[in-house]
Amino acid sequence: MISKQKSAGEPLRREAEEIARKRSLPESMAMTPKEAQELVHELQVHQIELEMQNEELRAAQLGLDASRARYFDLYDLAPVGYCTLDEAGLILEANLTAATLLGLERGELVKRPLSRFILKGDQDLLFLCRGRLKRTDQPQSCELRLVRADGTAFWASVAASVAHDLQGSAVHRVMLSDISARKLLDQTLEETNLKLERAKAVADKASLAKSEFLSSMSHELRSPLNAILGFAQLMEMGSPRPDAGQQESIGQILKAGWYLLELVNEILDLSAVESGKVTLCLEPTSIGEVLADCQAMIEPQVVKSGIRVVYPRFSTPAFVAADRTRLKQVLVNLLSNGIKYNRPGGSVTVSVEPFGADRLRINVTDTGEGLSQDKVAQLFQSFNRLGRESGTEEGTGIGLMVSKRLVELMGGAIGARSVVGEGSVFWFELSVAAPPAPGSALRAGEKAPVTPAGVALRTVLYVEDNVANMQLVERLVARRPDIQLIGAPDGASAIALARAHRPTLVLMDINLPGISGFQVLAALQRDPLTSDIPVLALSANAMPSDISRGMEAGFLGYLTKPIRIDEFMKALDLALETAEARRSR
């Protein structure tokens, strides 16, 4: 073994001896023993220096080898595939992950074009990506489908950048990532979104159909109810007065009619709230003023029941951010329930107290029978009357649910607590609001009273195709000697009569044969002869959207059927005053 090594090293030794011979000192430069000793010492020192340098070189080589090994470990075992391509697109080298992704050994990938592994329909994507890379020298990326050696395809993200090899030639570094799972998730999300859009379209269609059905049902119920309740009120007010038996019968008709109307209203209200179609106007609202309005509204029920209602006194005004009408609706519902389900001779107490830093809590406390905790948990459920369906008190089981939704829409919270045998407390909280600026007491939509001009006879045109409704209004207006009523059964004749008589006021039904009340209103507004005549809607279309649409169209006001005689007459007086004020300008 040694002889073999010696034999292999002889040429190198002969070359070294020849170099040494050429570098040897000439004979004329003989050295003294001291000089020779110094030279030997220098040579020994130099030899030690060389040995130390060799050790450093060996250590550096070992470190370089370790770094290279770590690099190749990271390169080969990286979770993404790496390939180096020449300018023609041929693979020069690839890591193990790239080989695994493409389904071949690393050696089999060398000198193959990367385009060979791209789905035919996506090859243009790689061509465009490499073209941009060559033009800009900036990293580029794209997503396309690769094909493994076994023919299976998968989605991959391809990122490429420019580098240079040891000879200075440009090469492309390409990174491959399998994104099939993400693409599958994207596809699933897209399909899910499509299904959601379809489901939303179906739900919107169902909601529209529901709204149309409720609107139609409301109209169909209100029209006959208008006649029933209107004529029953006329009979009750008739002369001579009805006897006791007749009065009792009329009272039963009115009671049943108003209850049916309340049921229709509450169902429509619940539908509007649940569909998100309720529009609220949140503004600084005085709790004291709202309670005063509620006191007037609830007074007939208080007198009839004998239940005492105690209201709070305010040393300073208290304001909350609320929709005044809806706040009143919530309070009337809670007060009505407190009276309805109280014990004989009981009481209802309203109190207002601060709650937290920026809220007020309104409590309605009754002295009724109280509720168990199980029933308290069921309070705010639609149509759930907690077992009182067979009781003497009428109710729909809708009011509390509507109140809950309204309070929440106003940014508040509502709840209840109760003790069996002692009574219940219904409470709700709303955010405190700063008092409104001076001069803003007249709310949007309200009209200041107008001083009447005092004419002897005023003409009212009533446009109505329902004979019973027409007769009802005729009977009501017959009690007013200052009003002359003209009837029109359809929109076309209404326009002609308005132009011919120029009435002081027009009462307009909405659903008319031929053209609708909205179209009649528009025609009257366009004609200079009739444009200044106020038009008051009187319709069985009582959905909130119907009323909003009517006010936006330009009706002076919007009354819904069935009519309450006293409210109808007040609205008629106010409309006539407004009409006279317009004519006197």
Q: How confident is the model at residue 95, as a pLDDT?
A: 87
**Mean pLDDT computed over 212-233:** 74
Q: How confident is the model at residue 384, as a pLDDT?
A: 57
Number of structural domains found in the chain? 5
Q: How confident is the model at residue 524, as a pLDDT?
A: 92
226 plus 295 within the same structural domain: no
Q: How far is CA 174 from CA 70, 72, 105, 111, in A?
A: 20, 16, 18, 15
Q: Residue holding tokens 């020849």?
A: 18
373 plus 504 within the same structural domain: no
Considering the domain boundaries, does residue 9 fall inside one?
no
Classify strands 535-539 and 505-508 as parallel, antiparallel or unpaired: parallel
Q: How many residues does the chain have?
A: 585
Instruction: Let me know: does 463 contact 488? Beta carbons within 8 Å.
Output: yes
Considering the domain boundaries, does residue 453 fall inside one?
no
Q: How do residues 64-104 score in pLDDT, each as one tens digit?
A: 766 665 656 666 777 888 888 888 889 988 888 888 889 99
Q: How confident is the model at residue 135 (pLDDT cuts 50, 70, 90)?
A: confident
Q: Which of 45, 72, 99 is the last residue of a domain?
A: 72
d(CA 226, CA 218): 12
354, two tokens: 């601060």
- Element spanning 6, H or E: helix 2-23
Distance from CA of residue 425 to its chain's centroid? 33
Query: Among the listed ranges 76-80, 98-102, 350-354, 534-538, which one has the minimum average pLDDT value?
Result: 76-80
517 plus 493 within the same structural domain: yes
Q: How confident is the model at residue 534, as a pLDDT?
A: 92
Residues of the domain holding 57:
33-72
**Mean pLDDT computed over 171-187:** 90
Q: How confident is the model at residue 346 (pLDDT cuts 50, 70, 90)?
A: very high
The one-letter amino acid code at 540 reads: A
250 plus 166 within the same structural domain: no
Given a cut of 60, is residue 167 above it in pLDDT? Answer: yes
Secondary structure of residue 426 in the 3-state scheme: strand
Radius of gyration (C-alpha) of the chain in whole angstroms = 47
d(CA 395, CA 515): 39
**Mean pLDDT computed over 159-163:** 89
Given a cut of 50, is residue 181 above it in pLDDT? Answer: yes
Q: Which of 129, 149, 178 is the last residue of a domain?
A: 178
**Mean pLDDT computed over 40-55:** 78
Instruction: Let me know: does 387 contact 381? Beta carbons within 8 Å.
Output: no
266 plus 165 within the same structural domain: no
Q: How confident is the model at residue 266 (pLDDT cuts 50, 70, 90)?
A: low
Considering the domain boundaries, does residue 445 fall inside one?
no
Q: How do residues 190-204 score in pLDDT, each as one tens digit?
A: 999 999 999 888 877
Q: Residue holding tokens 């107490």?
A: 349
For the chain, percent helix, then strand, then coil, each to nearest 5? 50, 20, 30
**Mean pLDDT computed over 397-421:** 87
**Mean pLDDT computed over 263-288:** 74
Q: How do residues 277-312 score in pLDDT, each as one tens digit?
A: 666 788 899 999 889 888 887 888 888 889 999 999
Considering the domain boundaries, does residue 27 fall inside one?
no
Average pLDDT, the chain: 81
**Mean pLDDT computed over 113-136:** 88
206 plus 338 within the same structural domain: no
Q: How confident is the model at residue 452 (pLDDT cuts 50, 70, 90)?
A: very low
Given a cut of 90, is residue 522 above it in pLDDT? Answer: yes
d(CA 370, CA 368): 6
Q: How confident is the model at residue 453, as a pLDDT?
A: 42
**Mean pLDDT computed over 32-38:** 79
**Mean pLDDT computed over 565-569:** 84
Q: How confident is the model at residue 163 (pLDDT cuts 50, 70, 90)?
A: confident
Q: Residue holding tokens 């040694």?
A: 2
Q: How do residues 416-450 score in pLDDT, each as one tens digit?
A: 999 998 999 999 999 999 887 654 433 333 343 33
More confident residue, 237 or 474: 474
Domain at 107, CATH number: 3.30.450.20
Q: How confident is the model at residue 278, as a pLDDT?
A: 67
**C-beta neighbour count of 431 within 10 angstroms:** 16
Q: Which of 221, 254, 274 is the last residue of a domain?
A: 274
578 plus 488 within the same structural domain: yes
More confident residue, 14 or 314: 314
Domain at 489, CATH number: 3.40.50.2300
Considering the domain boundaries, does residue 468 fall inside one?
yes
